[in-house]
Amino acid sequence: SASIFGAIDMAPRDPILGITEAFNADTNPQKTNLGVGVYYDDEGKVPLLNCVRKAEEVLMEQRAPRTYLPIEGLASYDKAVQELVFGADSAVIQEKRAVTVQALGGTGALKIGADFLKRFAPDAQVFISDPSWENHRALFESAGFTVNNYTYYDPATHGVNFAGMTAALEAMPRGSIVVLHACCHNPTGADLTAAQWEQVIAIVVARGLVPFLDMAYQGFGSGIAEDGAVVRKFAATGVPLLVSNSFSKSFSLYGERVGALSVVAASHEEAARLLSQLKRIVRTNYSNPPTHGGKVVAAVLTTPELRQLWESELAQMRVRIKEMRDQFVERLKLKAPGRDFEFVRQQVGMFSYSGLTKEQVHRLRDEFSIYAVDTGRICVAALNSKNIERVIDAIAKVL
């Protein structure tokens, strides 16, 4: 008799992982992968931060037993995350209106939030930016939602089409869930200004939309507090709010899967009910989160010397990316006079929508072993002092 597996189709390949596979198979010693979504240091390596190493040394010395964590995660971690995300002095923390659960990276946080929303707002539709991180759509669809795009990027200016965005927000049905990138928009690198955020917040509040802020790059834009400012502004409005955050990039802890979901309620009593439901979702998915990453991040965030070290190491990553943006612009000015790449300097975070066409991206790959995403997205954090000259020469040739 036929197996239940016999009729299963092959799932589509992940486009970004496909780039990495092709890159790995390339034998050109000068190959460069700008298709990635991770931060590399100037040596082209994923750093192990000193703050992480030091926290791990202490943990190893403790030789602690590996008991289960609570369903919502390590208490010291959840508290430290809340203070980082909302600010220790924020009303939502003082009034105990925010609940935070440790999650398996930012992705895990989004998934808990999506499952939670589907349970209690089953008829709402979800809106994500056009374009957005490619997993946003799949994740909310797999939770059972219809996912729509809202206007975001303007290829003509390489920035935000703000009039289009506000028009889209105004047209959303009440109660719609709107996923917003808190900072360092992936994939475009185009963020809203503070004044534009004020307008977005006003529309979200007036139209009764449910904001879901995704913050995967806190500290990669202008600074830890600066990048988190949007979350605090939303929290101050008193509307129901969800925030997913990730330490994959800001702690260079990709594989440890450390993130969190925070939900802001109207009262402490409401928050307790929400937490009980979030725990139910975690319990039926993976029971409770892993210990190591949460312990490391909690130790770093709450130990003053380690915290200071983290902030300076994060600042170094942020500054190095900015330097690469500057060099990208300056070098292209010389190699491709008449072409304006000034926008790359205005974009923030790890990525740039470079404006390179699919054909140009393919020429970079085929002629120079330089890999980027077909959309033209490049990871600025994969550029370094050794590869930038070759990359810029190649880009100038395919323009």
Q: Report d(CA 391, CA 35) in Å as an integer.
A: 13
**387 near ligand PLP, rule: CB under 6 A:** no
Cis peptide before 304 (omega within 30 of 0): no
CA–CA distance, 113 with 238 (Å, rounded to integer): 18
Give counts: helices (H), strands (E), the chain.
15, 13
Q: Is 186 in the site for ligand PLP (CB under 6 A)?
A: yes
Strand 98-104 with 159-160, pairing: unpaired
* Element at 149 (helix H, strand E): strand 147-151
Q: Nearest distance from residue 181's CB to ligand PLP, in Å? A: 6
**How many CB atoms neighbour CB 189 within 10 A?**
26
Chain center to CA of 155: 21
| Least gap, CB of 38 to ligand PLP (angstroms) | 8
Stretch near ligand PLP under the rule CB under 6 A, chosen from 54-62, 99-107, 295-303, 365-373: 99-107
- Residue 266 to residues 83, 98, 126, 233, 310: CA-CA distances in angstroms? 18, 9, 22, 15, 33
**Under 8 Å between Cβ of 115 and 281:** yes
Closest listed residue to residue 119, CA positions, set 204, 177, 61, 36: 177
Amino acid at residue number 324: M
Residue 246 found at the interface with ligand PLP (CB under 6 A): yes
Does residue 106 interact with ligand PLP by CB under 6 A?
Answer: yes
Q: Which of 78, 115, 191, 214 is catalytic?
A: 214
Q: Which of 73, 87, 105, 219 binds ligand PLP (CB under 6 A)?
A: 105
Residues in the chain: 399
Asked if 377 interacts with ligand PLP (CB under 6 A), we say: no
How many residues bind ligand PLP (CB under 6 A)? The answer is: 12
Of the candidate spans 100-108, 156-164, 292-300, 357-365, the one that interacts with ligand PLP by CB under 6 A turns out to be 100-108
DSSP string, 277-296: HHHHHHHHHTSS--SHHHHH
Neighbours of 55 (CB within 10 A): 23
Scanning 105-113, 155-163, 203-211, 277-285 for contacts with ligand PLP by CB under 6 A, the matching segment is 105-113
CB atoms < 10 A from the CB of 396, how many? 15
Nearer residue to ligand PLP within complex by CB, 271 or 373: 373
Instruction: Decide: 138 and 116 in contact? Cβ < 8 Å.
Output: no
Q: By three-state DSSP, how is residue 396 classified?
A: helix
Does the footprint of ligand PLP cover residue 216 (CB under 6 A)?
A: yes
> Which residue has the closest beta carbon to ligand PLP?
105
54, 133, 279, 310: the active-site residue: 133
By CB under 6 A, tell whether 52 contacts ligand PLP: no
Closer Cβ to ligand PLP, 37 or 211, answer by number: 37
User: Is residue 214 close enough to count as binding ligand PLP by CB under 6 A?
Assistant: yes
Q: Is 133 among the residues that bind ligand PLP (CB under 6 A)? A: yes
Stretch that binds ligand PLP, among 93-101, 103-111, 157-165, 363-371 (CB under 6 A): 103-111
User: Is 214 annotated in the active site?
Assistant: yes
Per CB under 6 A, 369 contacts ligand PLP: no
**Catalytic one among 118, 249, 279, 295?**
249
Of the pair 42, 134, the CB lying nearest ligand PLP is at 134
Q: Is 259 in the site for ligand PLP (CB under 6 A)?
A: yes
Q: Could you give the residue numbers annotated as active site?
A: 133, 214, 249
Q: List residues near ligand PLP by CB under 6 A.
A: 37, 105-107, 133, 181, 186, 214, 216, 246, 248, 259
